[in-house]
Structure formats: C-alpha cells, structure tokens
Structure 1
Amino acid sequence: MSNTNVPITLNAENFATEVLNSSIPVVVDFWAPWCGPCRVINPILTDLAEKYAGVVKIGKLNIDDFPQIASQYRIDAIPTLLFFARGQVKERVAGLLPKPLLFEKVETLVAPSDKAA
C-alpha cells in the first residue's frame, strides 16, 4: 500500500490496487502537464492528501501517459476529479473547484464510511 499523505502517481499497473481495490475512498485527478488549471489544483490536492492521510487517498493519473484509463472513465476535460468509494465512482467534477468546496466534497465521501464503522 502506498503512503497516503502525498498524492499517489497512478498508472496502468497500480490503478486497480490503489483505486479499485482500495479499502479507503480515493480521489483521482485526471490531468496533463500542459494543463494550466491542473497545475493550479495540484497544491490543493497535496493539502487534501496531508489532511486526510489514512482516511482518503489522492491519486493523479496523467491522461497523456494512460489514455486508455481516461477513455474508460470518459474523461473529456481536465482537470477531472473522480471520487471513488469501494471501487465505484461516487462523484465526478470537471474543472477547478475552490479549495473549501473540494474539501467539502471529500468530507461527504468519507461520511458514509464513518457511519459504517
């Protein structure tokens, strides 16, 4: 298992393990190096990874390197964030979100698992 206090670099080899089979919720950032808004959201995702370490994983998947995964999840704009719980997409957000709203969405992602515990 990966260190969850920093964003995890996702690829074709680790996507199933880190996202689909994760025991905790995962937020996946579909991005590309040439995307300006993707660079803007990066420090926010790092803050999320630090705050929710051990509770939520933050993963980053470069769509230029792994277009097949981006296509599988119908990513047509970046940045796009997919919120996974128990291997299923629970929410999708395309574009930049203000930091407070992104933190709020992560809170709703972890809320159901708190009730189940």
Structure 2
Amino acid sequence: MGEKVIEVTDENFEQEVIQSDIPVLVDFWADWCGPCKIFKPVIEKIAKEYEGKLKVCEVDTTISRNIGINYKIKALPSLLIFKDGEVKNKSVGLKSKADIIKNIEEVIGEE
C-alpha cells in the first residue's frame, strides 16, 4: 500500500509542491498540536478520494521551520492549496471535510 499523504520537508518542498503538475494540498501540523491529530484522518480520506487529481502533503513545522516561516504559518493546523506553484487558498484551524473539499474544488476548477 502506497502512502497517500506525502511527508514534505525543507529539502523536498520545491520538488513535491512548487513543481507539481497537479494541485497540492499542504497540511501544516506539529506533534504537540492536539487539533492537528484530530484533523489527520480527514486529510488522509481526502488524499484517497482525490488521488490522481490532487497531491496531499504534510509539513511538520517543528522539523521544517523554513516552510512555515516562508508561508507565514502562525497557527496550526493550517492548510494551503497550491496550483502551478502558487498559493491559491489558505485556511487556518479545524475545518470540516466539506469546507476543505469546497476549497479544493474551487482551486481544481480554475482553468
């Protein structure tokens, strides 16, 4: 079984997210963040449902601080949706799966 959610670090962020041919949902989290742990199963379900249409990545902000600093991540969990290397949507805090999917569909639908 392949892992649907890709762990991204300062080293592979450019390759996995910025250079991606398809839109990318990036979940910024940390091990000490309780809401992030609650959020994780929702992110994993979205990764399975959108496989092939959306890449889903996660960034542990305690390990990869530079990415969080570059994108001004001030609270966790934070979700950024990238398309063509640019942030198209940003949300902070726990969101419902329906809200996340709405944001994804808005970005995927942009042509």
Superposed CA deviations along residues 27-82 of structure 1, whole A, max 9, x for unmatched, are: 10110011011011111110111011010011000000011111011000000001
* Mapped partners of 1:9, 1:55: distance in 2: 18
Superposed CA deviations along residues 64-116 of structure 1, whole A, max 9, x for unmatched, are: 0011111011000000001100000011100010111111111111112xxx4
1:105 paired to 2:100: no
Match of 2:11 in 1: 13
1:89 paired to 2:87: yes
* Mapped partners of 1:73, 1:67: distance in 2: 10
SS of the aligned residue for 1:58 comes to strand
TM-score after normalising by structure 2: 0.94
Identity %: 36
Unaligned runs of 5+ in 2: none
Unaligned runs of 5+ in 1: none
* Mapped partners of 1:99, 1:89: distance in 2: 20
Q: Quote how far apart the aligned CAs of 1:20 are.
A: 0.2
Tell me the matched-pair count: 110
Please identify runs of 4+ aligned residues in structure 1 that moved more than 4 A.
none
Partner AA of 1:102 in structure 2: I
* Mapped partners of 1:40, 1:103: distance in 2: 17
1:35 paired to 2:30: no
